[in-house]
Amino acid sequence: MTGTSQAAPQVAGLAALLLDREPDLRGRFYDVEERIDGSTTRLPDESCGLDPENPEYNNVTGTGIPDAVRLLADA
């Protein structure tokens, strides 16, 4: 019960909540992604190393744990 197969439904739910709150974001996929990424809590885990091309991304935890409350508070 870990990995992207578990994260995808959660992120889809966050996107739905955000789009319901801000309908003008519909069709603006990169803006939605940026907003969700901006709501995450970073997790320090460098056991697989950091991505030199994208230092905000963590090879173990991605961009972190999304926070729906933070996401919608910023909306």
Query: Which residue ranges make up each domain of the chain?
Result: 4-73
User: What's the CA angle centered on 68, arms 16 and 4, to 5 degrees?
Assistant: 75
pLDDT digits (tens, 9 = 90+) for 43-66: 776 667 667 787 666 666 677 788
pLDDT of 4 > 70? The answer is no
pLDDT at 75: 65
pLDDT at 34: 92
CB 44 within 8 A of CB 55: no
Burial 49-72 (b: 16+ CB within 10 A, else e): eeeeeeeeebeeebbbebbeeebb
pLDDT digits (tens, 9 = 90+) for 13-33: 999 999 999 999 999 999 999
pLDDT at 12: 93
